Structure 1
């Protein structure tokens, strides 16, 4: 078979897909979409960065006053980054170029283009209440996981009580479950920096 010859005609594929789609496929499709939403909203990249750099700022858990200040500052900066990234969005133009920007009350403010969007197009990207819900929830998830990191716990809580140890152990699990449920129930429509992209 020639390399230039397609395996199936596009129309044939679409027709076959439409015929074979049933309730089971719809459930699977919804599950995969929910998983994508979770992957977009959970601050995995920031958490990984925090885990890699926290030993430096916390002196591997052996903190003096300077280390506590540095670790607190680093924690707050990461939390701020998590919050801000929830307000980024993107779109693809007719040439296939992807542009990124920040959602505002007036629309999308582009950060990598000198040409602003038309008011009609920009209005599709306006800030919504759900953006703030996603932002605060993502910060909550990050904070719970970051504060359960071994070096961070030793730095901020050198001699934790037994009750505090149990709280620090159970808190990330509880927050993670509640946040995941919220993200699945109210998925994001944004495709900002670090998000998987599809054409809008």
Structure 2
């Protein structure tokens, strides 16, 4: 009987250890999947779709350079501003989107007669500014790794840019991913489902 009890205790410890590992993996994966909400994937897709039109055949005329600069500015602004959007689900199940301000959530469409939750979660904070700035940094690292951009914006500096771009995007990705995981954000912006 003692052997059975010892065997059962060992089996219980093994199951608890397996459950703890599974819980840790699940927590890590759920945190990592939240990175999708913070990285500018939609903006990057838009940038990659519009860049061939802006850069043309690769000749860097003043018009082409201006178009690339305008595209970079618009996409960087998009990365920054989308971090200040949030949403909530009303009692009837409808999802409402708005802009996060220091006073709370301001709905995009007014006059709906919906009571906006007055939670601290819907107020802008320092974490929002940090996330927005990091998102712009990630976008810049990826955009500047494109030769069409650097050849037009920094002509004659290809060697220096090649050296910089060997490690810069990786460093930005690692640092920003780590900071996003350490300082999580609970925003459910445009394109994300509200809780």
TM-score by length of 2: 0.84
Is 1:179 paired with 2:171?
A: no
Deviation (angstroms), 1:113: 4.8
- In 1, the alpha carbon distance for the partners of 2:170 and 2:73 equals 21
Is 1:54 paired with 2:89?
A: no
TM-score by length of 1: 0.82
Deviation (angstroms), 1:164: 2.7
Asked if structure 2 preserves the Cα contact closer than 8 Å seen for 1:86 and 1:192, the reply is yes
Is 1:89 paired with 2:69?
A: no
Is 1:189 paired with 2:153?
A: no
**Matched residue, 2:146:** 149
Within 5 Å, which residues of 2 pair with 1:21-60?
Answer: 22-60=19-57
Residue aligned with 1:86, SS:
helix
Asked if structure 2 preserves the Cα contact closer than 8 Å seen for 1:148 and 1:168, the reply is yes
Deviation (angstroms), 1:31: 1.3
**Matched residue, 1:111:** 108
Asked if structure 2 preserves the Cα contact closer than 8 Å seen for 1:50 and 1:78, the reply is yes
Deviation (angstroms), 1:119: 6.9
Deviation (angstroms), 1:198: 4.2
Asked if structure 1 preserves the Cα contact closer than 8 Å seen for 2:95 and 2:194, the reply is no
Structure 2, unpaired ranges of 5+: 1-15
Q: How many corresponding residue pairs?
A: 179
Within 5 Å, which residues of 2 pair with 1:65-84?
Answer: 65-84=62-81
Is 1:166 paired with 2:163?
A: yes
Asked if structure 2 preserves the Cα contact closer than 8 Å seen for 1:61 and 1:152, the reply is no
Q: Looking at both structures, which has the greater relative contact order when contacts are Cα pairs under 8 Å and sequence separation is at least 6?
A: 1
Deviation (angstroms), 1:194: 2.4
Structure 1, unpaired ranges of 5+: 1-18
- In 2, the alpha carbon distance for the partners of 1:60 and 1:49 equals 19
Deviation (angstroms), 1:110: 0.5
Is 1:63 paired with 2:60?
A: yes
